[in-house]
């Protein structure tokens, strides 16, 4: 069985929680060493700073993005102020997260979507399927994909159908997507 998820076109991040408290957040950086953007991530309104029922150590992976409607509003505000507009929501997000002043980032309408794990302490009862993982992460209070935007498939035909449904849904999603993820 496979799960089909929309691929959020944002900035990949890794978030570390210790005893349920958000402690560190980083980007991929150069692929070997990530950039510590903890202070900027703390300003993302959909990122919970505390989780109830989390294992002792929990590292989650996800994407920070700028919702499409918010991006359009930011673009209009920039144009009205005579500023150069961002090229797209992903560039707006990446530029926001690189800001040295987290107060600037706090004014940007960024959001988070989590979908995977990094390090997890042994006390965790991690589900063994992607569908179970998404449900578990959501139960901890982390933002995940809307269940209506996830497809469980058992055949190549179902996979093709799910991808076609996702393609038809793209314009109604709250974020830019650059494809599908199959797990």
Active site residues: 7
Does residue 68 contact residue 174 with C-beta atoms inside 8 Å? yes
- Edge-to-edge strand ranges of the sheet holding 111-120: 21-27, 11-18, 57-65, 111-120
For helices 68-80 and 89-97, the axis angle rounded to 10 degrees is 80
Which tokens hold the place of 23?
Answer: 């402690």
DSSP 32-71: SS--B-HHHHTT-TTS-SB-SS--SEEEEEEEEE--HHHH
The two tokens of residue 78 are: 């920039």
Instruction: Give the rounded distance of the alpha carbon of 30 from its chain centre.
Output: 19
């Amino acid at each position: 069985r496979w799960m089909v998820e929309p691929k959020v076109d944002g900035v990949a991040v890794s978030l570390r929680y210790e005893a349920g408290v958000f402690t560190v957040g980083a980007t991929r950086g150069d692929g070997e060493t990530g950039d510590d953007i903890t202070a900027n991530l703390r300003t993302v309104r959909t990122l919970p700073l505390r989780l109830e029922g989390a294992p002792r150590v929990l590292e989650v992976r996800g994407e920070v993005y700028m919702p499409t409607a918010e991006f359009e509003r930011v673009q209009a505000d920039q144009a009205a102020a005579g500023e150069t507009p961002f090229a797209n929501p992903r560039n707006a997000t990446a530029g926001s997260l690189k800001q040295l002043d987290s107060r600037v980032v706090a004014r940007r309408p960024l959001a988070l979507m989590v979908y995977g794990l990094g390090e997890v302490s042994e006390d965790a009862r991690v589900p063994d399927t992607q569908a179970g993982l998404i449900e578990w992460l959501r139960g901890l209070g982390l933002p995940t994909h809307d269940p209506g935007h996830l497809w469980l498939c058992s055949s190549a035909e179902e996979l093709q159908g799910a991808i076609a449904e996702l393609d038809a849904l793209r314009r109604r999603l709250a974020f830019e997507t650059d494809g599908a993820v199959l797990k």
